[in-house]
Amino acid sequence: MGERALVLGGGGVTGVAWELGLLAGLADAGLDLGAADLVIGTSAGSVVGAQLTSDTPLEELYQRQLAPPDGEIPMAIGARTMFTMAGSALVSPDVRSARRHVGRMALTAHTVPESERRKAIESRLTSHQWPREKRLLVTAVDARTGEFTAFSGASGVPLVDAVAASCAVPGVWPSVTIDGRQWMDGGIRSSANADLAHGFRRVVVLAPIALHTPLMPGPSQQADRLRRDGAQVAVIAPDASARQAIGRNVLDPAKRADAARAGREQAPSVAPLVNGVWQGARS
C-alpha cells in the first residue's frame, strides 16, 4: 500500500477537460498529482487516468483539450436514461438490483456500434498499454449482474477496453464486451469511487460531478469515510466559473476547451488545500 492516491471522477467530455486543466494548473503551482502511488479513474476519470499515467507530458495533454473537437459527436443524456437511473433506487430492493435495472436499459438502448465507440476511445488515449511504473485502477459495472469491478494491469484486459467500459454511459454509449460479459459506466456505482483509496494516508479527489443518490454515494460521503479511517482528503469540484464554462451538457465537445481553461484558472484557488493534503511530511 502506498502513501498518496489520486481519484479522478466521472463527468463526460467536459469532465476530462476540466480535470486535465486543473491538473495542469496544479502542476504550475508545483503540485505533481501524477506522482500518486495509486490513480483511480471512473468514466471520464478513466480517460484522464490512462493519459496521466502514460509517458505523455501533462502540458501536451492539456493542449489537446484546446484543439477543435473535429470528429467528436455531440451527445446528451436522454430523458429515458435520467428516468431509469433516478427511478432504479425506488423500484429495486438493494443497490445491486438497482444497477441491474439500469443495466437492462443499457443493454437494450439504441447506440452506435461497440466497435465504433472503441475506436473513439482508442483515438483519445495517448497510450494503449497499462502503465508499468504506476498503479492505475479503472472502474466498471457488469450490466447484467450489477457487479462492480476495478480493472488493472493485472486483470488481463486491454486498457482501451477497460476505459471504454468505464465510459459506457447507459443509454448513450454501448456496453462493452470483455470476456463474454457486458460492462457499463463505473459511475453507476459512484461518480468517483473514492472508497477504493481506503488505506492511503493522503487522497485528492477531483470530482467534476459530485452527485450523491441512494444508488450512487458521492465523493464527499466517501471522503468522510476515508477521513474517519485516518486519511487526509481533499475533494475538488468545479467552482462557479468552471460550472458556467462546462454548461449543462457534459457530453458536448464544443465546451471542451472552455472547461479545460476553467480548470486551469481554478487551480490557484485550490492549490493550498491540495498542497496541505499532498505535500505533508511522510512518516
Q: Which residues are catalytic?
A: 43, 185
- Name the DSSP letter for residue 249: -
Helix, strand or coil for residue 150? Answer: strand
Do strands 38-41 and 176-178 pair parallel, antiparallel, or not at all (unpaired)?
Answer: unpaired
9 backbone dihedrals φ, ψ, rounded to 5°? -85, 175
Which cell numbers in the block locate residue 170? 447507459
Q: What is the DSSP string of 162-202?
A: HHHHHT--TTTS--EEETTEEEEEGGGT-SS-GGGGTT-SE
Q: Is 163 exposed, middle or buried (0-12, 13-18, 19+ CB in 10 A)?
A: buried
Alpha-carbon distance of 240 to 231, in angstroms, equals: 28
> In 3D, which of 93, 92, 88 has the Cα closest to residue 105?
88
- Name the DSSP letter for residue 280: P
Give the count of beta carbons closer than 10 Å to the beta carbon of residue 162.
30
28-32 long-range Cβ contacts below 8 angstroms, 24+ apart = 28/264, 28/267, 29/267, 29/268, 29/271, 29/275, 31/271, 31/274, 31/275, 31/278, 31/279
